Amino acid sequence: MESTFVIVDLDHSPESHTPAYETEARDRDRVVIGVAAEPRVAVEGCDILLTGVPDPPRPWVGCVDPHATARKLGHVVESRPAASVALVQVLRMGSGLSIPDRLVLESLAYSTLQGGVDFRSWLAAAPRRTPRPAETPVQLDRDGSRLSITLDRPWVRNAFDAATRDALCEALQVAVADPSISRVDLYGSGPAFCSGGDLAEFGTSRDPAQAHLVRVHRSPGALLNRCGPRVTAHLHGACVGAGIELAAFAGRVVAAPDTVIRLPEIGMGLIPGAGGTASIPVRVGRERTAYLALSGAELSVEEALRWGLVDEISDADDVSADPQQAFRH
């Protein structure tokens, strides 16, 4: 079987492929990783671009040894080919779609992968977890024109379960429906903003098609997109999976110094499913989004600030600035 990834040495590619690597038809179902000693202008056709230059411009990712990093990413693709290829296909296609359509595309791919061998194998090997629900998983506080929304399951680091999703949708509907609310602040109680999807619920839905319909109908990401200019997300601690995917829809993202960002879904045989393929590329580009998802690596808050995934690092909960100033849609 042909490899599901290709590494392109952009410093030694044929002259006809310089400065851009031209994607061939066979690469539509492969992950294309471009490597160069220094960033180049207008490199196209690559899903990830790696360089040895520190802090390179978007869409490049800087690393100590780009060729070694490319090989590591290749190993990830080989271990999770269906999810890896689906990820880059969704990101490529999504660049020409509206945010609502990107969310539908993401959900279709996510639901397909839920029925795949890789996810089922991961699920079978994962330790069983006991659900620990909250009576009120999301708290609301209205003060004049300001609405505060707080994820409130601190004992599981605000892991995102179905009840939290539904409660967050209800809270965001208030902001969408009421134009007199000029400010929405999104918080997470306890030691972390949100540790991602609640693993106690993973695999409990046996009907991927129905899960897709529910995911599209009850989409916090879609609602955040609608009221995004008024939203400030306040991050701290773990911001994993849904924790950063939803926050990235906010017009302004303020992060505490201890914030750590990670997209772990590929390792489970899935892709980001809370809107990450729609929200994160708007802020950092599809190439850096693909790198985050495929590597599963932790992104420091300083790097997130340089990339534009975070707008400010602050020890305090600064709720005075206008979130519309940083809105990126």
pLDDT for position 91? 98
What burial letters (b/e) apply to 202-230, b meaning 16+ CB within 10 Å? beeeeebeebbebbbeebbbbbbbbbbbb
Spatial separation of the C-alpha atoms in residues 177 and 192, rounded to whole Å: 29
Rg value, the chain, Cα: 20
What CA–CA distance (Å, rounded) separates 32 from 179? Answer: 44
pLDDT tens digits for range 16-50: 344 455 555 557 899 999 999 999 887 889 999 99
pLDDT at residue 327, as a whole number: 35
Burial-class residue 181 by CB neighbours within 10 Å (0-12, 13-18, 19+).
middle
Model pLDDT, residue 59? 96
Of the candidates 294, 288, 325, 271, the residue with the CA atom closest to the CA atom of residue 77:
294
Query: Could you give the residue ranges of the DSSP H alpha helices within the chain?
Result: 66-79, 81-94, 99-114, 117-125, 162-177, 208-217, 220-227, 242-245, 276-284, 286-295, 301-307
78 has a pLDDT exceeding 70:
yes
Whole-prediction pTM: 0.92
Q: Output the pLDDT for position 6.
A: 96
Whether the CB-CB separation of 205 and 113 falls below 8 Å is answered with no
Mean pLDDT of 311-315: 94
Which of 38-47, 240-249, 265-274 is predicted least confidently?
38-47
Beta bridge partners of 232: 185, 252
Q: Is residue 48 within a helix (H) or strand (E), and if so which, with residue range?
A: strand 48-51
Helices then strands, counting H and E runs in the chain, come out as 11, 13
CATH classification for the domain delimited by 99-326, as one of 2.40.30.10, 3.90.226.10, 1.10.238.10, 2.40.50.140: 3.90.226.10
Q: Across residues 8-19, what is the average pLDDT?
A: 67
Structural domain spans, the chain: 5-79, 99-326
Q: Please give the DSSP secondary-structure letter assigned to residue 329.
A: -
